Amino acid sequence: GDSVTQMEGPVTLSEEAFLTINCTYTATGYPSLFWYVQYPGEGLQLLLKATKADDKGSNKGFEATYRKETTSFHLEKGSVQVSDSAVYFCAPIRSGGSNYKLTFGKGTLLTVNP
């Protein structure tokens, strides 16, 4: 079945540091890839997505590139802020057929200190 492996947290950074959260996946067919973010006390929100190989998703200064050859979708941000403190989830979804569901990674807790 489909699966996703995320870098385990927690990750603690100082403000303005560079962030990378690794994500690799196994998925049947040709998946689309998503990053979701969960701020404290809230539900998950879509952060960014990529639907085909070499696509780069971006939002709020975060970026992730769909690397089919390495089955990866690593999340990066050049300069994190305290407000980026949250849990981040990588989620692939297979593209074949209509019976699709997201598969979520276990989440990576990011804490950014001033």
Partner 1 sequence: DADVTQTPRNRITKTGKRIMLECSQTKGHDRMYWYRQDPGLGLQLIYYSFDVKDINKGEISDGYSVSRQAQAKFSLSLESAIPNQTALYFCATSDLDRSNYGYTFGSGTRLTVV
- The smaller minimum CB distance to partner 1, of residues 16 and 88, is found at 88
**Contact indicator for 84, 101 with CB cutoff of 8 Å:** no
- Minimal distance in Å, beta carbon 43 to partner 1? 4
* Partners of 78 in beta bridges: none
C-alpha span between 74 and 23 (Å, rounded)? 5
* Interface with partner 1 (CB under 8 A), residue from 45, 79, 81, 113: 45
Decide if residue 85 touches partner 1 (CB under 8 A): no
* Interface with partner 1 (CB under 8 A), residue from 21, 44, 64, 86: 44
Structure tokens at 49: 């997505």
Decide if residue 95 touches partner 1 (CB under 8 A): yes
